[in-house]
A = this chain, B = another copy of it.
Amino acid sequence: MDFLSLFVMDFVKQLQSPTLSFLIGGMVIAALGSELQIPESICKIIVFMLLTKIGLTGGIAIRNSNLTEMVLPVLFSVALGILIVFIARYTLAKLPKVKTVDAIATGGLFGAVSGSTMAAALTLLEEQNIQYEAWAGALYPFMDIPALVTAIVIANIYLKKKKHSAADEYLSKQEYLEKQPVAAGDYPDQQDYPSTRQEYLSKQQSADNRVKIWPIVEESLRGPALSAMLLGLALGLFTRPESVYKSFYDPAFRGLLSILMLVMGMEAWSRIGELRKVAQWYVVYSLVAPLLHGFIAFGLGMIAHYATGFSLGGVVVLSVIAASSSDISGPPTLRAGIPSANPSAYIGASTAIGTPVAIGLAIPLFLGLAQAIGGS
C-alpha cells in the first residue's frame, strides 16, 4: 500500500517535471497545428552538446573510479542489446502482415539507445536527488552497437536463406510499396530499391559474402550522436575539461534538453500518420516493448545491485536505455545495413510511439519503482 502510493505520487510529480512537460507540450502544440519550428541546426547542436556532456561526465567519472564495478553493468548492456533484437525476431516478425526484415530492423532500433531519452532520465534522477554512478551514461554504446550489429547480421542471414525465392518476392514487394502513400522527400531511401530484377539479384550476390561485422560497428561509432559522446568520453578521460564542463556543458544541459523534448514531442505527433501505413502490430509492439525491455533490464540491474553494489539510480539508467529506442544515430545505420527494410515501419514505431512511451511511461515507472524499493 505504501509502495503503491509512493509510486503513484511520484509518477504524477514527474509528469510535471520540465523534461516530461515539454515533451507533452510538444505533442499538444503539434496536435493543435502550431507552426512553431525549432530549426534543424539548433536540434543538431543541442544533441551534440547533450551527448558531449554525457560523455564528459562519464569520462571524468571513469578516470576517478574503480573499473571493476563497471564489468557487470557493461556485460548486461551488451546482453540486452542482443536479446532485444531476438525478442523482435521471434515475436513481432511472426505476426501476420509483418515483414521479417522490417521486424528485425525495428528490433534493432528498439535495442539501440536514444541519447535524448537517456538525458531525460539522468535529469529526472538529479531532480529527485537519486544517486547514480556518474559513468552510467557510458553504458550507452555497449547496448547500442551490439543491437545494431545483431539486427543487421540476422537480417542478412535471413535474406541469404531465402535468396532463391527472392526475385519473385521482390516483385510482389514492389507492388506492395506502390500501394503505399510514402511521404516523399523525408526518407529518400526508397530510391535505393534496385529498379530491375537483374540489379536486385546482383545486389543480393554481394550480400552473399559473409556479413562483415566491423563496418557496421565502425558506422555506428561514426554517427553524430555516438561520435559526440565518445569524443566527450575521451576528453573526460585524457584531458582536463573540468572548467568548460562546469561553466558551459553542465549548466546548459537541462535547458537544452527541454527544447529537445519539445521537438521530440512534435516529431512524435507528426510521425503517427506513418505508423498507420504499416501493420497495426507495430503499434502494439512499440507500446509493449519499451516496458518489457525495461523490466528485463531492471531485473538484471537488481542482480548487479545485490552482487556488486550497482546503485538503484544506475539500475534506473540501465532500464531506461533498454526501454529507449534510437532516433538519431540508429536509423541511418539500419538504412545502410538493411536497405530492403521499410523505414516507415521502424522509424514510425520508434519515434511516434516508442520514444514517448520510454520517456513518458518507462522513466517515471522505473524511477518510481527504484524509489519505492529504496524507500521501503
Contacts and interface: CB of A to CB of B under 8 A. Distances in A.
A222 B35 contact: yes
Interface size class of A (residues with CB under 8 A): 35 or more
Candidate in A238, A241, A252 with the most chain B CB atoms within 10 angstroms: A241
A32 B15 CA distance: 41
A205 to B, nearest CB: 27
Interface string A180-197: 000000000000000000
A240 B16 contact: yes
Nearest to A241: B18
Contacts of A42: 41-42, 44-45
Interface of A, secondary structure class, is helix
Contacts of A231: 25, 29, 34, 36, 262
Nearest to A249: B255
B227 A17 contact: no
A210 to B, nearest CB: 23
A254 interface: yes
Given A222-B32, A243-B127, A21 B252 contact: no
A45 B227 CA distance: 23
A307 interface: no
Nearest to A239: B21
A315 interface: no
A259 B228 CA distance: 11
A335 to B, nearest CB: 13
A33 interface: yes
Contacts of A227: 29, 34-36
A32 to B, nearest CB: 7
Nearest to A36: B227
Interface in A236-287: 238-241, 243-245, 247-249, 251-252, 254-256, 258-259, 262
14 contacts: A18-B239, A18-B241, A18-B244, A21-B235, A25-B234, A32-B222, A34-B221, A34-B227, A36-B227, A36-B228, A37-B224, A241-B258, A244-B255, A252-B255
- Per CB-CB distance, the 9 closest pairs between chain A and chain B, nearest first, are A248-B255, A39-B41, A21-B239, A18-B244, A34-B227, A36-B227, A16-B239, A16-B240, A36-B224
